[in-house]
């Protein structure tokens, strides 16, 4: 039976835990609406695979949010901040912007207003990434060290519920009532986050543990430097890891690249094989998410029993090799059992590798730089894959050949993404031990990662 950390059941009754559940839901809801569900909308609107691949670039703000996170941390919003406090003001503004951008996407038809639809997706990603920054800051400041595990677990539960809602829920709504209704419904659900933000304690005005009140800053703190904020964490990594750092950074950048490159073409594959929206929703967006959650627990067990280093190597091999199941899927008819097997294999590998990578990156962080170094590493692992993912549609078209249907190019494409795992495994074998140095040390509160559903993208 589940018991709160430290054996104190009163933590479960803390209203901040309930607020964190709602904020986790608000954080996870926009993700698939600019990634998986969005690519399904384009595929079922008969947009070609090249364009679908290029549209994956619109989610880049998730990987670049560390660039403007110091602004969110140090500046008050006019009008809203004096009324709500700094963090709550940023939460409410970002959530309203997400809802407005989703509304824009609801009324933009891919066949007639593709550019407007792309603008809406970019605004959703930018606003949602900003929301993630401020929610993470609120979580860390709202409770003490002993409650961070509870807050992270609660946030992860809300995040997963949101992925099911924006995945399976949105696809079923789109099938029965159209994409406009689906996206308007998702925009309305952002009200959950707004209500949670309004109910949240004003932690930037009143410290959670009786400490002195934190002053609100209209300008950056004295001596604050954007350059130092970015360079000091890197300097600390280099001091501790030496020349190995550059190989380790390359390894982190490549570790989940097969997932990012193949992910943008998954829904076009399902469409090309002949699966319907309800079938895709049930298997990939509902059943598949629970397979990923199960894989995360298996990875956690593996880290405890085998150690971080072996688990990290296994995850690197699984993350790429499982894509061969999608190559196999492209060769047969649209039978539901075949889709279930392919998704089971693919999501298990992705969930296992994602958990292993989070643990590994957390092990690389140093005292005093845990939050900033984790933010930099999580952005690094997501950014290269997303940059390359934009060319995925062109690769599928090239493998299919001129004038031939894209379905003929999918088997070779997913085999290529599986082959990307070979250099990853070699790097893991030679340099993967570096992140295992802290595997037995208790994590610092700021090192608790934001949950993502494949990878919160980061």
Q: Kindly list the domain boundaries of the chain, sorted by start residue.
A: 1-224, 226-458
Q: Give the model confidence (pLDDT) of 25-59 as tens digits.
A: 999 999 989 988 998 899 889 888 888 888 888 88
pLDDT over 70 (residue 22): yes
| Mean pLDDT on 143-169 | 74
pLDDT at 299: 83
Q: What percent of the chain has pLDDT over 70?
A: 80
Backbone angles phi, psi at 404, to 5 degrees: -105, 155
Q: Does domain 226-458 have CATH number 1.20.1250.20?
A: yes
Q: Give the model confidence (pLDDT) of 332-347 as tens digits.
A: 899 999 999 999 999 9
- Kindly tell me the sign of the dihedral angle through the C-alpha atoms of 440, 441, 445, 450: negative
Per the CB < 8 A criterion, the answer to whether 84 and 76 are in contact is: no
Task: Report how far residue 30's alpha carbon sits from residue 393's, in angstroms, rounded to the nearest whole number.
Answer: 23
Q: Of all helices (H) and strands (E), which one includes residue 342?
A: helix 336-364
Pick the CATH number of 1-224 from 3.10.20.30, 3.40.50.720, 3.40.50.2300, 1.20.1250.20: 1.20.1250.20
Q: Which two tokens stand for residue 155?
A: 């946030």
**Residue with more model confidence, 97 or 207:** 97
Task: Report how far residue 392's alpha carbon sits from residue 390's, in angstroms, rounded to the nearest whole number.
Answer: 6
Q: How confident is the model at residue 374 (pLDDT cuts 50, 70, 90)?
A: low
Alpha-helical segments (H) within 242-307: 244-255, 257-273, 277-280, 288-306
pLDDT over 80 (residue 149): no
Mean pLDDT, the chain, rounded, equals: 80
pTM of the model: 0.66
What is the end-to-end Cα distance of the chain in Å, rounded? 32
pLDDT at 23: 94
Q: Give the model confidence (pLDDT) of 209-221 as tens digits.
A: 344 334 344 344 4
Among the residue ranges 20-34, 76-90, 171-185, 364-378, the one predicted with the least confidence is 364-378
The string over 306-322, giving b where at least 16 C-beta atoms fall within 10 Å of a residue's C-beta and e elsewhere, is eebbbbbbbbbbbbbbb
pLDDT over 90 (residue 68): no
Q: Give the model confidence (pLDDT) of 245-276 as tens digits.
A: 888 889 998 998 888 888 888 888 998 999 98
Among the residue ranges 60-74, 320-334, 347-361, the one predicted with the least confidence is 60-74
CA proximity to 242, closest of 117, 364, 154, 128: 364
Per the CB < 8 A criterion, the answer to whether 305 and 399 are in contact is: no
pLDDT at 9: 45
Q: 274 in the Ramachandran plot: left (φ > 0), alpha (ψ -120 to 50) or beta?
A: left
CA proximity to 205, closest of 141, 146, 140: 141
Q: What angle do CA 31, 252, 245 make, to 5 degrees?
A: 140
CA proximity to 356, closest of 385, 318, 315: 315
Per the CB < 8 A criterion, the answer to whether 255 and 319 are in contact is: yes
pLDDT over 70 (residue 237): yes
Per the CB < 8 A criterion, the answer to whether 392 and 219 are in contact is: no
Q: What percent of the chain has pLDDT over 90?
A: 31
Among the residue ranges 60-64, 105-109, 338-342, 446-450, the one predicted with the least confidence is 446-450
Task: Report how far residue 90's alpha carbon sits from residue 197's, in angstroms, rounded to the nearest whole number.
Answer: 9
Q: Are 1-224 and 226-458 the same fold in CATH?
A: yes
């Amino acid at each position: 039976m589940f018991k709160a950390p430290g054996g104190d059941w009163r933590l479960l009754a803390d209203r901040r835990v309930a607020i964190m559940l709602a904020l986790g839901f608000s954080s996870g809801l926009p993700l698939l609406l600019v990634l998986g569900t969005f690519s399904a909308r384009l595929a079922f609107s008969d947009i070609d695979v090249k364009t679908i691949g290029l549209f994956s670039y619109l989610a880049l703000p998730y990987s670049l949010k560390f660039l403007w996170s110091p602004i969110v941390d140090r500046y008050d919003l006019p009008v809203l901040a004096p009324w709500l406090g700094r963090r709550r003001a940023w939460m409410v503004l970002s959530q309203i912007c997400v809802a407005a951008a989703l509304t824009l996407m609801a009324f933009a038809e891919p066949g007639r207003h593709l550019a407007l639809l792309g603008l809406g997706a970019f605004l959703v990603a930018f606003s949602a990434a900003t929301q993630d920054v401020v929610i993470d800051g609120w979580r860390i400041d709202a409770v003490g060290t002993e409650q961070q595990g509870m807050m992270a677990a609660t946030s992860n539960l809300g995040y997963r519920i949101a992925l099911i809602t924006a995945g399976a829920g949105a696809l079923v709504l789109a099938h029965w009532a159209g994409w406009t209704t689906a996206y308007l419904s998702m925009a309305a659900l952002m009200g959950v986050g707004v209500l949670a933000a309004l109910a949240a304690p004003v932690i930037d005005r009143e410290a959670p543990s009786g400490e002195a009140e934190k002053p609100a800053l209209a300008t950056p703190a004295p001596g604050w430097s954007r350059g130092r904020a970015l360079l000091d964490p890197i300097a600390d990594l280099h001091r501790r890891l030496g020349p190995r750092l550059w190989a380790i950074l390359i390894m982190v950048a490549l570790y989940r690249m097969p997932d990012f490159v193949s992910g943008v073409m998954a829904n076009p594959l399902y469409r090309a094989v002949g699966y319907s929206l309800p079938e895709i929703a049930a298997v990939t967006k509902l059943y598949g998410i629970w397979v990923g959650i199960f894989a995360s627990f298996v990875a956690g067990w593996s880290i405890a029993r085998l150690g971080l280093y072996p688990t990290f190597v296994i995850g690197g091999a699984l993350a790429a090799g499982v894509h061969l199941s999608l190559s196999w899927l492209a060769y047969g008819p649209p039978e539901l059992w075949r889709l279930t097997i392919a998704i089971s294999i693919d999501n298990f590998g992705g969930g296992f590798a994602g958990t292993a990578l989070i643990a590994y990156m957390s092990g690389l962080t140093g005292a005093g730089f845990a939050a900033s170094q984790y933010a930099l590493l999580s952005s690094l692992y997501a950014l290269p894959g997303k940059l390359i993912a934009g060319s995925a549609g062109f690769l599928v078209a090239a493998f299919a050949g001129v004038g031939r249907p894209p379905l003929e190019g999918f088997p070779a494409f997913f085999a290529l993404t599986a082959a990307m795992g070979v250099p990853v495994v070699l790097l893991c074998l030679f340099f993967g031990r570096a992140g295992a140095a802290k595997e037995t040390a208790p994590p610092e509160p700021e090192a608790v990662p934001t949950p993502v559903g494949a990878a919160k993208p980061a």
